[in-house]
Structure 1
Amino acid sequence: MTLTMKRVSKIFKDGPNEFKALNDVSLEVNSGEFVAVIGPSGSGKSTFLSTAGALLSPTGGSIEIDGQHVADLPDKQKTRLRLEKIGFVFQTANLIPYLNVTDQLHVINVMAKNKKRKGYEADLLQHFGLEHRTGNFPNELSGGERQRVAIARALVNEPDLILADEPTASLDSQRGREVVELIAAEIHERGKAGIMVTHDERVLDVCDRVLMIKDGQLVETETIR
């Protein structure tokens, strides 16, 4: 699986004014590779991740996920692509407050109309040490547990691409590192492609490559592995 972005731009308009959030961004991420993108607030990190994950359409350039051009897909096909190919991990876990841990995962399979993966839900929860929490609701979980549920939910559709948006933001340093190590292990061991945008430089050694985004432009800073 490969994510390929070629000369991608994203322009937001506010009346007569324009703001270029992404400026000629090119990137390729392959299976088994975990890439970190760092940068100051307002540099374009969230826009970059949302565009890579087909949540936003680029103004210019091309994006391919597993050889499929994303930008020109109808909205329904983009939704299907996200359900089948992409797993999102957000900084606040974004769990549904009225669903227990098991149902947080099950709802993804219901949306994808995929009955085959039902047994995989329990396997994932056990894998992440959450088998004793299956009936609990988000407000009954610790911050680290909520993020582990979020990672399991991101993986339940067996995606090819994992996108993580500031996954350590609401966690202390130890739990934050544990969460990033879990994401990295899934990417490396299961052959996923992964991107994480983050402010947390303490976890960059877990990643294979580190890139910086500044004023909407992407620059490779170092290769870790």
Structure 2
Amino acid sequence: MAQPMPPMLTDELPDVFPISAAESAADQQDVLSVLEQLKAMDATLALFYAEGMAPIYGQIQTIRDASLSLEILDQMALPNVVDQQALHCLTRLSGQQLRFDTRFIGYDESAPGSLCIRLEMPCSFSYLQRRGAFRLDLIPRRPVSCFLSVKGDEIEISVADVSLGGVGLLGVIPGVALVPGLILKGARVELSSGNCLIVDLEVRSQADYFLKNGIKTIRTGTQFKALSPRDAQTLMRYINRVATQQS
């Protein structure tokens, strides 16, 4: 039996279905307008095809009358999508989270050098009422390390989880108040795959966190300030691979 997706504490794309939604945009012209905006801003879309599985990420390349073409950013994950009929797509636009349902039609061979799939044109969008992104909860044998520069010294801080939106840090840093809005510049995030990301992190939230041994600590939710496309693709592949292995 597939394990349910973990709840997300950060800020990018929602994690599980069903999610309560507000009014839907059903007018076809409204749908096209939303899709054009997502395409223009190179927004990342997360495709969910089964509960308990990590999302597959892509970006809109072309929009036609009855379909749209989506470039898959992690080509290794594509075989999991092509046999699925119903797909759920989640994204973000102007601070609002959007969901639409679609179906896989086939491959789009009009974009040489990239791997694109064609999806059925959605009939409506739902505006989601909760925040969140798929979060990969880390286990001891697959740790992620985060190193911060504090007053000229490099300090390692434990990582509870990682997502396309940011990382969850555990514990406190002596002499540093991790208050919302604080920017942690030049943080080095080392993945267990051997890849390393140099990023700026913005502190978004803090909450009590209980370790498996019952000890209480603090979890600090942080958001990537400007993740490069290359780093985003590296992180997507890492999350997809580890989530699949853990399921």
TM bracket (short chain): under 0.3
As a proportion of its length, which structure holds more strand?
2
TM-score of the pair, normalised by structure 2: 0.26
As a proportion of its length, which structure holds more helix?
1
Higher relative contact order (CA 8 A, sep 6+): 1
Structure with larger Rg = 2
TM-score of the pair, normalised by structure 1: 0.28
